Amino acid sequence: MKKKILVTLLIIFIVFLALEACGFYLSRHGNALTDSRKTADAKSAPELRKKSDAMKRKIANLAPKGTYLVIDTAKNRIYVRNGNNTLKEIVVSTGSGSILKDPAGNRQWIFDTPRGERSVQLKKTNPVWTKPDWAFIEEGETVPKNFRDRLEEGVLGDYALDLGDGYMIHGTLYTRLLGRNVTHGCVRVGDKDLKELYSNIPVGTKVLIF
């Protein structure tokens, strides 16, 4: 019985010594590991800042010179920018992304605002909308053969900035929907902001859409 007790005490003593040894090792080397980590972080921080600054310079060099427009279709915003400075932020409406299929054929249209780089090709006052085929199909109407039957006044506002391929920055009758993705691909703007864009954005201005 005494022998069993002695063996048990011996095992407990050995375990105690092992734990003490581990604690001593960690207290001595744990600080060294922490210090080495801090040193590594201290060394890497300036390097990361240098890389970040270099990336910012590269991005800045890619920006168009002078005034340009950035259209964010996710946030439904136009940003008037000059270099890396934002001069004005405008709430707009961009493409809905919905799809319309022609029940009489194989055609379909995706109502999305095109991404990429464009430019203001033409500026118009009192623009007249030339309704494309999809505008009639969407309303369940027959597509007219007479070109004049496609013309509709008063729906695009007082001004328009033509971006080519039928896409424009223009006015809207539905100002309550600004800030939402509801258009057929064009960019709708409120009257006051549209007038300011028309007055200050010349033909040839770069337009970046994403």
* C-alpha distances in Å from residue 151, one per residue of 95, 132, 143, 146: 22, 10, 12, 10
The rounded distance, in Å, linking the Cα atoms of 14 and 9 is: 9
Q: Is 28 exposed, middle or buried (0-12, 13-18, 19+ CB in 10 A)?
A: exposed
Spatial contact of 71 and 94, defined as CB atoms under 8 Å apart: yes
Spatial contact of 160 and 124, defined as CB atoms under 8 Å apart: yes
Write out the catalytic residue numbers.
170, 186
